[in-house]
Amino acid sequence: MDYTRLGFKAGLEIHQQLDTGKLFCGCPGYLRQDVGDVQVMRKLHAIAGETGEVDAAVRHEAGLEKSFVYEGYRDSTCLIELDEEPPHLISQEALDEALRVALLLNCEVYQHTQIMRKLVIDGSNTSGFQRTVLLARNGWVETSFGKVPIDTLCLEEDSARLVSEKSGKEVVYRLDRLGIPLVEIATAPTLVNPAQVRETALKLGEIVRACRVKRGIGTIRQDVNMSSTGHPRVEIKGFQDMGMLEGTIQMELIRQQHESDKQSQVRQALPDGTTKFLRPMPGKARMYPETDLPLLFISLEHINRIKKTLPRLQQDITQDLLKQGLSSELVGLVLDGFVPLYTALVKRHVVSPVLIAKMITLWTREVGTKAGKTFDELTSVCTEEVYDMILERVASGKLGEGQVKGVLSAFISGKSLEDALQVEQVDDNRLEQDLRAIVAEKPGLRANAYMGLVLAKLGSGVDKRKAMELLQKIVST
């Protein structure tokens, strides 16, 4: 496809949930699967805005005469999610985290800004609007084809989660997600082919994941704004899978070329790479000030304080880990959520970083799987203190590196850490005598070949690394 000839232009919008409490109330940001224990039903009416005109998208939705059911939770949602109480002041921890993202994206932060209400017409906000605040602008992200400008960065509240929709008449939403802070990053519409769109999305994803953000399906959402010669802007929402970005854009371009009524619209990305019509593009008069909340001031001192607490980016951490001797496979495992633990342990213990990386990722997972433990069970059992105690033994020479996995296994299978650490300290001389006896019984084999015999005679608690070292010495003499 010749994207230049088609006049293809695209911009990206990324929405990422922060892993903090809610934005305008004190509720925790728990995402839940269980059915709510409070139900409220509402209907939506189209009302003219301040300009006296009814928004085209609003008229479209209200004409459908839907009723909306909201499920809440007594213990993790409150009256603010139900729009029965005014919002509290903006959450400082969410604001700080959003500022970190803004600074990592080289944005200028606004020192004075206004929290706004953005009209939302599908019922996914109980108030009929979404609160959003423009925090920063004019940033950039580095890519292989140059810097991609970031136009704006907003902090906003997530909407309620759609649970079911009965024949388009009754729509059920859950309130657990409503009010969870989202960072919205919008690039300039300067991307000129689908591969650039994909690379930029991946890069932005990598940068936001350096911050305190939620992980997993649905916690990051990408929208693509695209246009081509003779076709006005179309917004495609709801990409579930980054692998689908390029293909969906290509199919949308083909659709645009063949459309007779070329209108600006919002479409939804479908799993098969096609898109479906959602609604007309909303008008511009959709934002007005949130009068329940004061102007937001962000002082220079505040910004400077945040600058001192910026997380490091993945590419820099990767370089460090490779320098410390980790294989690229191990680097990948550590980057998958273990960086803080790994860094803390490497700082405190004079032992090989490779041993630390293997212990907290590979070995813990391996013995955990054997013992039938889930990831959550493992992380609650294998705490930093547990690793500290094991590494102290290794550093003081009381535990061989080859014995660490055995200790972990005993501990994860239910022994107390003290008991698990009581492994026999075979002294090197005695081990060497035992090994020489084994080699003498069956001479002429290579070192590896004796390991089976060694394990059979001396038991699996033997320090395998030490035994292999000694075997190599014995065999070569």
Please say which residue, 28 or 289, places its beta carbon nearer to Zn ion.
Answer: 28
Minimum distance of Zn ion from residue 389's CB (angstroms): 41
> How many C-beta atoms surround the C-beta of residue 383 within 10 A?
11
List, in sequence order, every beta strand (DSSP E) within 158-290: 161-166, 170-174, 181-187, 220-228, 231-239, 265-269, 275-280, 287-289
Please say which residue, 18 or 245, places its beta carbon nearer to Zn ion.
Answer: 18
Please say which residue, 72 or 194, places its beta carbon nearer to Zn ion.
Answer: 72
Give the residue, chosen from 12, 14, 27, 160, that forms a contact with Zn ion under the rule CB under 5 A.
Answer: 27
> In what helix (H) or strand (E) does residue 29 lie, and over which residues does it extend?
none
What lies within 8 Å, CB to CB, of 47 at 6+ separation is 54, 58
Please say which residue, 81 or 156, places its beta carbon nearer to Zn ion.
Answer: 81
Sheet of strand 170-174, all strands in order from the earlier edge strand to the far edge: 38-43, 67-72, 170-174, 161-166
- Kindly determine how many residues on this chain lie close enough to bind Zn ion according to the rule CB under 5 A: 5
Q: Which of 428, 423, 433 is nearest to 460 (CA)?
A: 423
Minimum distance of Zn ion from residue 29's CB (angstroms): 10
CA dihedral 284, 289, 292, 296 (to 10 degrees): 130
Q: Which of 207, 177, 159 is nearest to 12 (CA)?
A: 207
Give the residue, chosen from 6, 23, 25, 104, that forms a contact with Zn ion under the rule CB under 5 A.
Answer: 25
Q: Is 180 in the site for Zn ion (CB under 5 A)?
A: no
Minimum distance of Zn ion from residue 394's CB (angstroms): 47
- Binding segment (CB under 5 A) for Zn ion, from list 23-31, 54-62, 303-311, 357-365: 23-31
Q: Which of 211, 115, 158, 155 is nearest to 27 (CA)?
A: 158
Contact 425, 395 (CB under 8 A): no
Minimum distance of Zn ion from residue 78's CB (angstroms): 3
Please say which residue, 24 or 363, places its beta carbon nearer to Zn ion.
Answer: 24
Residues 302-361 that bind Zn ion (CB under 5 A): none
Give SS3 for 183. strand
Minimum distance of Zn ion from residue 290's CB (angstroms): 16
Minimum distance of Zn ion from residue 117's CB (angstroms): 18
Please say which residue, 25 or 201, places its beta carbon nearer to Zn ion.
Answer: 25
Minimum distance of Zn ion from residue 179's CB (angstroms): 6
Distance CA 224, CA 215 (A): 21
- Binding segment (CB under 5 A) for Zn ion, from list 21-29, 296-304, 379-387, 446-454: 21-29
Q: Which of 261, 254, 200 is nearest to 228 (CA)?
A: 254
Distance CA 367, CA 365 (A): 6
Residues 65-104 that bind Zn ion (CB under 5 A): 78, 80-81
Please say which residue, 78 or 121, places its beta carbon nearer to Zn ion.
Answer: 78
Please say which residue, 45 or 74, places its beta carbon nearer to Zn ion.
Answer: 74
Minimum distance of Zn ion from residue 181's CB (angstroms): 12
Minimum distance of Zn ion from residue 126's CB (angstroms): 11
CA 161 vs CA 31, 75, 90, 275: distances in Å: 10, 18, 22, 21
Please say which residue, 292 or 336, places its beta carbon nearer to Zn ion.
Answer: 292
Binding site for Zn ion (CB under 5 A): 25, 27, 78, 80-81
